[in-house]
Each structure stands twice: as C-alpha cells, then as structure tokens.
Amino acid sequence: MKHSMKSPKQEQAQDQGNGQESDLHDLFLDELADTLSAEKQLTKALPKMAEAAESDELREAIESHLEETKQQVNRLEQVFKSLDETPRTKKCKGMEGILEEGEEMLEDEKDSSALDAALISGAQKVEHYEIASYGTLIAWAEKMGHQQAATLLKQNLKEEKAADEKLTELATAFANDKAN
Ligand code: FE
Ligand code: ZN
Ligand code: FE
C-alpha cells in the first residue's frame, strides 16, 4: 500500500471538503489585489515614461498603453465584483522594484542617445512581469471555474503581450539605426 504524502493539515482540509479549493481561492484574491496594485502603480509611472521618451513613436506607444492600463484597472475591479468581492489592493513590491530601477536608469541615461533604449528595456520588464501574473491568475481562475474572471484576465493578458511585441519592434528599429 502506498503511503500518503499529504500532511495532516492537508488531510484535514480534504476531509472538510473544500479546504484546498478555498486556500487557492484566497491565494487568487491576494494575487488579484497585488496585480491591481501593480496596474495602479503603472498608471502613475507611464505618463512620466512617455514624457521622457525621445522618439514620437515610443511616446505614442507608451501613451496608448497608458489608456489600456486604465481599462485593465477597470477589468480587475470587475473581476473582484464577479466574485462578489470588493476590489482591493495589496502593494505589489515587484512592480515597485521594477519601476524604481527604471527611474534610476532614466536618471543615468538622461543625456544619452540610448535613453529610449533604456526606456524600452524598463518597459519590457514591466510587461513580462505582468504577463507572468496574468498567466498564473488565468490558470487559477479556470481551475476554480471562475469563467467570467478568466475572460476578463485574458483580455488584459492579450494587451500586455501586444504591448511587449510593440516594444520589441521599437527596440529592433532602434538597434538598427540610432543607439549605436
Ligand atoms: Fe497592465
Ligand atoms: Zn506583484
Ligand atoms: Fe502592461
């Protein structure tokens, strides 16, 4: 007979029915609150990044993603509401750190012809961090059968991926002419 690898706590949770499911649900809500904080931090940081951009194309790309980001905040609030929860935030230290590093980079590069390259690199770190968060949230939402939440989260993920691709395009264009 196989020995169970489950801890007494897990056994108990299972005996009680939905213990494991409700642990995942709590984790899901915490990660949603973290992601809402991340998106809200971004609505404050993106205008500064747009203003710093040298090229019109990069500025426009950042401005257009700012508008999307405001919609993403709305969608995350709708996700909470779809679960009968009040939208809440939990300070995202990951995003805080990425943005801090980005600001430092801007300061260091402010007189450099590679300023836009630096901005793009910071912005892509932001997008990849968000892509990771949404990928996880979608998987959990689907596992728990939160279909409406999953649909909303997928819309955000799609925009993050498109923003990342646009930045890659711009980075490639810059690499081919300017920042050398
Ligand atoms: Fe976002
Ligand atoms: Zn976070
Ligand atoms: Fe984004």
**pLDDT tens sequence across 88-138:** 999 999 999 999 999 999 999 999 999 999 999 999 999 999 999 999 999
- Domain residue ranges in the chain: 23-178
Ligand 2 centre from 94 Cα, in Å? 5
133 near 38, Cβ under 8 Å? yes
Location of structure tokens 């995003």:
95
Note the pLDDT tens digit of each residue in 62-89. Answer: 999 999 999 999 999 999 999 999 999 9
What is the pTM for the complete model shown? Answer: 0.87
* Distance, CA of 122 to CA of 44 (rounded, Å): 15
* Distance, CA of 45 to CA of 164 (rounded, Å): 17
* Distance, CA of 128 to CA of 18 (rounded, Å): 33
* Mean of per-residue pLDDT scores for the chain: 91
What residues does the ion ligand 2 have nearby, CB within 5 Å?
34, 92, 94
Q: Flag whether pLDDT at 19 surpasses 60.
A: yes
Location of structure tokens 């990928």:
135
Ligand 1 centre from 39 Cα, in Å? 5
Domain 23-178 has CATH 3.40.50.880: no
* Distance, CA of 171 to CA of 178 (rounded, Å): 10
**Which is more confident, 142 or 14?**
142
